[in-house]
Amino acid sequence: MSHGKDIEGQSVRPKNQYRRFAHGIRRIRGRALTSTIVSKEVPPLADPLGPENKLIFSAGILAGTSAPNNGRLSVGGKSPLTHTIKEANSGGAVAQKLVRLGFQAVVIEGVAKELISLKVDQDGVRFVPSASYRNLGNYDIIERMRREFGENIGVISIGPAGEWKLKAASVAVTTPDFHIRVAARGGLGAVMGSKNLKAVILDDRKSDQVEIKDKAKFREASTALSKGILSHPLIGIFKELGTSCLVMMMNAYGCLATKNYSLGQFAGADKISGEHMIELMKKRPNGQHVHRCMDGCIISCSNIFTSDHGEVIVSGLEYETIGLIGSNCMIDDIDLIAQINRICNDVGVDTMDVGGAIGVCMEAGLLAWGDGKAALDLVKEVGKKAEKGLMIGNGCRVTGEKVGAKRIPHVKGQCLAAYDPRSLKGTGVTYATSTMGADHTCGNAIPNPANPSYNPSASTGQGPVSQFLQSYFAAIDSLGLCLFASLPLLDIPDLQKHLVACVSAKLGSPLGENYLTHLGISVLKAERKFNEAAGFTRKDDRLPRFFLEEKLLPSGNVFDVPEDEIDAVSAWPL
């Protein structure tokens, strides 16, 4: 990639520049790279929506290869929602195009004077004036880009919420068949909007295959990895039901976020379950109960949710959206949840923080519990730039404070995921101590039939579990491996060796047996240092008090992990 000139206040970096930050980990990518750049180059006290913040896109190390499920795109920056460092990642087609075009990362600096897009292809990088795309939703912008640039592109874009710098604004990423996946959390869409960047279009026609130094070793390791992943019983469930299998599982376990985290079970769970959704999709025209969000996926946990008439509503409808907008708001109408999901994707806001915001509005009496139509109308207000729409578009904490809610389910400004931490206490420690606010993808300690000795609701012993998972998933996010494909590696240790062997064969250099651990720890160190310099202390690593005081029904659990156990995680690995 050539070194682009400053154009309209933005600049483009030469592609080799970031190797100097390797910290002993060779050729870092994905979350390791986005977090390294943020920690080295963004002043910790910078305004997340100001010119000093940076927005970084990077594919994982194995993106573009035939290793299974390796094509996540990491998006990084300082979060306007949490004011911590942030990486959100997404499936889709873009990461693989990025690496085929020879990029380690795209770093967006400064602020453009006018709304622009960035076009990246074999001829280099150019800025595309985009004033005519102002306030367009993601579905429209993607269609326009397809018409203008053809079918070989991948698109990263923001909707109006990003342009308006709403704190829960998301970044949309296209799949190979032009559905929308989302790097949803932390408000990175607002960072993109603050740069006046509407879209990044990648066209990898005529580009080279990704270089693999030792092809034979790579093939062998990649085949063994795929076989091993598919052998795990959990993968069979994800292949059949997708992530929405978790609705009935978490409901049975009594930790499905329900009625703004006041209950652990939802009476209408079966109506919003994966089992129910699949039956619908099997009957409805154009519905698909299995779908893959990226090339090379061997699980296909996604879906295409359609209306009775076969109109595509959203792809895919996932557990976190169903939990936060469904059970958390007592809405048991799967069609309304899907419609709300579509509007969130189009305007460009995180369904999880918006679901949390609707929940606190319901608790404050602005809407009735379970009134899906009123929730749909409220979400439509975001795109109209109406007062209440802007409020929920700024997420759960802002909304809760505005409506005077006493129980606001957030950590550092970010809404919890749809797992109640009183019964999943390891996940609770992760919510409290992750470098990114309440974020289950940083280390979700859910019950696992393959590991029956782990008790997720025990009061002690959760710190080390969360600590291990936080390091593990920091490494996984740096390789670009899909989280679901990474779960079997926790139970079948040989699979970690195959994964590391893939990386080693790709790079053409041996990697130590503790490669994943070292990689994860180095990422967390950089992230924690940044947060510490931004003013965060152990006191910030706490769950809202109501989780410690109110008993969760039906178990009667409270979150009672001792503070010193939580503090030990906060202090590590610095």
- Shortest CB 302 distance to ligand SF4, Å: 4
Check residue 299 for interaction with ligand SF4 (CB under 6 A).
Answer: yes
Select from 273-281, 295-303, 438-446, 559-567 the region that touches ligand SF4 (CB under 6 A).
Answer: 295-303
- Shortest CB 292 distance to ligand SF4, Å: 5
- Shortest CB 250 distance to ligand SF4, Å: 18
- Shortest CB 127 distance to ligand SF4, Å: 31
Cβ partners under 8 Å of residue 412, min gap 6 = 82, 83, 84, 436, 437, 438, 536, 540
Select from 10-18, 155-163, 290-298, 341-349 the region that touches ligand SF4 (CB under 6 A).
Answer: 290-298
Contacts 24+ apart (CB under 8 A), 123-129: 124/1, 124/2, 124/4, 125/1, 125/2, 125/4, 125/12, 127/7, 127/8, 127/10, 128/201
- Shortest CB 359 distance to ligand SF4, Å: 25
Residue of 78, 97, 195, 292 that binds ligand SF4 (CB under 6 A)? 292
Q: Give the burial class of 449: count Cβ atoms within 10 A of its Cβ; 0-12 exposed, 13-18 middle, 19 or more buried.
A: exposed
Check residue 46 for interaction with ligand SF4 (CB under 6 A).
Answer: no
- Shortest CB 483 distance to ligand SF4, Å: 7
Distance CA 133, CA 564 (A): 51
Q: Return the number of the residue (69 or 557) whose C-beta is nearest ligand SF4.
A: 69
Q: Return the number of the residue (247 or 293) whose C-beta is nearest ligand SF4.
A: 293
Distance CA 523, CA 517 (A): 10
Q: Return the number of the residue (299 or 446) whose C-beta is nearest ligand SF4.
A: 299
Q: Return the number of the residue (336 or 482) whose C-beta is nearest ligand SF4.
A: 482
Q: Are 570 and 433 in contact (CB under 8 A)?
A: yes
Q: Return the number of the residue (53 or 321) whose C-beta is nearest ligand SF4.
A: 321
Check residue 429 for interaction with ligand SF4 (CB under 6 A).
Answer: no
* Among candidate residues 171, 156, 47, the one with its CA nearest the CA of residue 111: 47
Distance CA 155, CA 410 (A): 31
Site for ligand SF4 in 136-175 (CB under 6 A): none
Check residue 91 for interaction with ligand SF4 (CB under 6 A).
Answer: yes
The conformation of residue 207, written as its DSSP 8-state character, comes to P
Site for ligand SF4 in 461-490 (CB under 6 A): 482, 484
Check residue 178 for interaction with ligand SF4 (CB under 6 A).
Answer: no
Q: In the chain, what's the furthest Cα-to-Cα distance?
A: 63
Select from 163-171, 294-302, 306-314, 382-390 the region that touches ligand SF4 (CB under 6 A).
Answer: 294-302
Residue of 33, 166, 192, 297 that binds ligand SF4 (CB under 6 A)? 297
Select from 136-144, 184-192, 297-305, 355-363 the region that touches ligand SF4 (CB under 6 A).
Answer: 297-305
Residues composing the chain: 574
Q: Give SS3 for 25.
A: coil
Structure tokens at 512: 């130590």
Cβ partners under 8 Å of residue 567, min gap 6 = 538, 541
Distance CA 323, CA 417 (A): 8
Q: Are 329 and 355 in contact (CB under 8 A)?
A: yes
Q: Return the number of the residue (67 or 297) whose C-beta is nearest ligand SF4.
A: 297
- Shortest CB 237 distance to ligand SF4, Å: 12
Total binding residues toward ligand SF4, as defined by CB under 6 A: 12
Check residue 302 for interaction with ligand SF4 (CB under 6 A).
Answer: yes
Q: How many CA atoms lie within 13 A of 563 on its CB side?
A: 8
Check residue 294 for interaction with ligand SF4 (CB under 6 A).
Answer: yes
State the amino acid at position 351 in one-letter form: T
Interface ranges with ligand SF4 (CB under 6 A): 69, 91, 292-294, 297, 299-302, 482, 484
